Amino acid sequence: MGLFDTIRNIFGGKSASSTPEQTPSPSTGSDQSAFWQSNMQPTPQPTQSVNLCTNACGRPTDWHGHALCRICWAESNPTRPISPSRMNSYHAVIASSGATGQDETTFRTNLMNNRGFYPEHVDALCASPTLRSLMGW
C-alpha cells in the first residue's frame, strides 16, 4: 500500500489496490472508522460564568475571582494618572510647536505647518483631555 492509498483510507476513500489491508485499531482490532466513531468525544465547550455581578446589573462576571463585571469594575475604578513618560511627550509636543498658552487654532496651525503633523493626528491630539487641560482650553 502506498502513501496515497494510506491517506485515502484515512479520509474514507477506497483503495486502488484489489486487496485492501486492514489496520488494527489500538484497542479491539476492529475497523478504524468504527473505533474512532465510538471513542471520539466532542470537545467540551467553555461555559459561561454563572457568577453574576454583585452590583445587581445582571451581567455575568468574566474574570475569575472578581465580583464585578467589566463595565461595573471600570465605573468603580477611576482612570489611572498619566505616566511621567507620556506627560513628557505631551510637554515635548507643546514645546516643539511653540504654542504654549496659545489658543487651539494657533496650536493646530503650528503643528500642521511647522512640524509636519497630519490633520487627523492633530485632531486626535487636540481631542485628548490631557492636552486640553495642559493648554487650558
Query: Tens-digit pLDDT profile for the chain (137 aa)?
Result: 677 788 777 877 665 554 555 554 455 555 566 655 555 555 544 444 467 788 778 787 776 677 888 788 777 777 777 888 988 998 888 888 876 778 888 889 888 988 889 999 999 998 888 888 888 88
Is the CB of residue 107 less than 8 Å from the CB of residue 128? no
Is the CB of residue 35 less than 8 Å from the CB of residue 48? no
The three-state secondary structure class of 60 is strand
Instruction: Check residue 46 and give its pLDDT.
Output: 46
Return the DSSP state at 9: H
- By C-alpha distance, which of 126, 130, 22 is closest to 86? 130
Instruction: Check residue 119 and give its pLDDT.
Output: 92
Q: What is the Cα–Cα distance from 135 to 132, expressed in whole angstroms?
A: 5
Q: Which residues contact 113 (CB under 8 A, 6 or more apart)?
A: none
